[in-house]
Amino acid sequence: MKLNALNNSFSPFQWPTLQFLTEVSLFVSVKGRDLLQKMACSGIPDRSKSNFTAFVNQQNEYMKKQISFPLAITICLFVLTVTLFSCDTLRKNPTPTAQSRRPNTTANRRPGSAPARRPTNNRAASSPARPTYSRPSGDYAKEIPQVVEVARTYSGTPYRSGGNDKSGIDCSGLICSVYSEIGVKVPRISWQQSEFGTEVGSIQEIRPGDWVFFVPEAGKEGYVSHAGIVTDVRNQQEIFFIHASTSKGVREDNLFSTYFKGRFVKAMRPF
């Protein structure tokens, strides 16, 4: 059983080579043994006692030379055997190429680790990189009373997602429609509106004509889901804005009311 296991551990190329080298090693060993036996059997009775010591030393030197030859042959055969086995092993297991070691950057990627992206349009490649917006021809501060007046004409309009007129309108549609009536083109989508213009530094700096934005849940970060136009600032605790409520339609509410105070995230001054 041990012999079979040993036989199975060598490849078809390695086993005949090992047998050949073993037979050569045995041949050299046998020849060296016969040489030593002949030297031991060679008689020295004819030698005088005075020359006996010199003869023994001469024979010892001759034996060392004869023994070193088969030993050197055996070492060379052993090195040759190891070399042949190594070459055969390397042939079976080639070193991986540079291409196979190249990391797959796509696979290393962890799932969900990509940053959040804005909604994209499949036709973006054929459309301009940025929509063309306009601004009031004069000083925006002088246009604010007209903005507030037009916005209040929408009061009572029912809420309709995607709506743009008085038959039904949503919050971002209200902003877009009001400014459209005074000849100014602004973004239609709420998250685009939240990046349009200059951000107001603090609540104390909010004034009529500014846009206010809210998130869905109070006290939590999130995407902008609601927007309105500031219509009246009475004091630091009464800042009214007009918006399209999903349940009550277009109406004005106080920014500091319980519902909106916790959801308010930013204010923008569009012009």
Q: What's phi and psi for 165, nearest 5 deg?
A: -140, -170
Sheet holding 226-235, edge to edge: 198-199, 264-269, 211-214, 226-235, 238-245, 249-254
DSSP 162-202: T-EETTEE-HHHHHHHHHHHTT----SSHHHHTTSSEE-S-
The SS3 of residue 258 is helix
Pairing of strands 164-165, 226-235: unpaired
Catalytic residues: 171, 226, 243
Q: What's phi and psi for 138, nearest 5 deg?
A: -115, -155
The SS3 of residue 30 is helix
